[in-house]
Structure 1
Amino acid sequence: MDLTLDRPGSYLFVRRVDARSITVVDRELTASFLLSPERAVENWPVAASTELNDGHVAAILELKPEVVLLGTGERQVFPPAAFMAGLLRRGVGIEVMDNAAAARTYDLLAGESRRVVVAFILPAEGQK
C-alpha cells in the first residue's frame, strides 16, 4: 500500500496545536489570532475568553463568517453572553471549544469550503 501526503493547498489550515502555540501551514503563532481559509489576523488583542465583549465582534465580522469557532485555550471556557449575542444578532453562529477541538473543526469545515472563522486565544507571555 502506498501512502501519500495530501496537503490542502487551497486554504490556510492548522497543522499543530499545543498549550502555547498553534502552527498554521508552516508558521508557528504564539499570540491570539483570527483565522479564515483565506487570511490570518495576527495579534488579536485577547488573552482570555472572559475579556471578550461586543467590541471584539467587528474584527471577526470583517472576515465574513457564517460560523465562528472560539478556541479558548487548553479548556473550554465560555465568553460573556454579550460577546456571543453580538454574533448571533448578526446571524452568525458560534461554537466554543478548546483550541485542539477548534483546530480540528476548523480544518474540517474549511476543507468543505465553508465560510468559517476560528478565533484562537493563546496565553500571553508569562501566563498559563
Structure 2
Amino acid sequence: MKLHRDNPNAQNRIRGYGSGEIRINEVSYHQSLIVAPQALELDGIPSDVAQLKSRHLERLLAHAPEIILLGTGSRLIFPPRELLFEPQSRGVGIEVMDTGAACRTFNVLLAEDRVVVALLMLEAGG
C-alpha cells in the first residue's frame, strides 16, 4: 500500500473533480483514492461499488474518522448493507453519495475541523 503524506501542518483539500480526475491540493489524480486530512492512499482502491469489500472499509477505519464518505462514481450506487454495518457498529458515520458530492462534502467537513476520510471512486477509463 502506497501512502503519500503532506506536510503535517497542511491538510488535503479537494480543489476539483471532473470526469476521470480528482485534484487534491495542486496534484491531479486519475484513479480512485482514499483521502484523509493528512494522508492519501492510491493503491488497491476499487473503481466501482461492485469491487468494494470489507477490507476497503477497514482501511478507512484505520484513519480513526468520525465520518466516512463513500463516493461511488458519477452515480449514487449503494453498496450491500452488510458492508456498512462495521463502521456503524464502531460508532462511525458513513455516507454514500456520488463522487462529486463526496468531494464537496469532504471540504465542508474539513472546514468544520471534523475528522473525515473519503473513498472516492473514479470509473475505470474515466
TM over 0.5: yes
Aligned residues: 118
Which whole-Å CA distance do the structure 1 matches of 2:32 and 2:63 have between them? Answer: 16
How far the C-alpha of 1:53 sits from its partner, in A, is: 2.4
Question: What SS does the aligned partner of 2:58 have?
Answer: helix
Once residues 56 and 82 of structure 1 are traced to their aligned partners in structure 2, the CA distance between those partners, rounded to angstroms, is 13
54-63 or 65-74: bigger deviation: 54-63
Letter in 2 for 1:18: G
Deviations 1:84-127 (A, max 9, x none): 112111211110111111111100101111100111011123xx
Which protein has the larger Cα radius of gyration, Structure 1 or Structure 2?
Answer: 1
After TM superposition, list the pairs within 5 Å mapping 1:69-88 onto structure 2. 69-88=69-88
Q: Which residue number in structure 2 is paired with residue 98 of structure 1? A: 98
Shift in Å, 1:44: 3.7
Q: Which residue of 2 aligns with 1:46?
A: 46
Instruction: Give the TM-score, by structure 2 length.
Output: 0.86
Alignment of 1:109-120 (within 5 A): 109-120=109-120
Instruction: Check 1:112–1:44 CA distance in 2 against 1; reply closer, same or farther (3 A cut).
Output: farther
How far apart, CA to CA, are the structure 1 residues paired with 2:82 and 2:53? 6
AA in 1 matched with 2:114: R
SS in 2 for 1:117: strand
Query: In angstroms, what is the RMSD of aligned CA positions?
Result: 1.5
CA contact (8 A) 2:77 2:97 kept: yes
TM-score, normalisation: structure 1: 0.85
Unpaired runs of 5+ residues, structure 2, are 1-8
Considering fraction of residues, name the structure with more strand: 2
Contact 1:53 1:80 in 2 (8 A): no
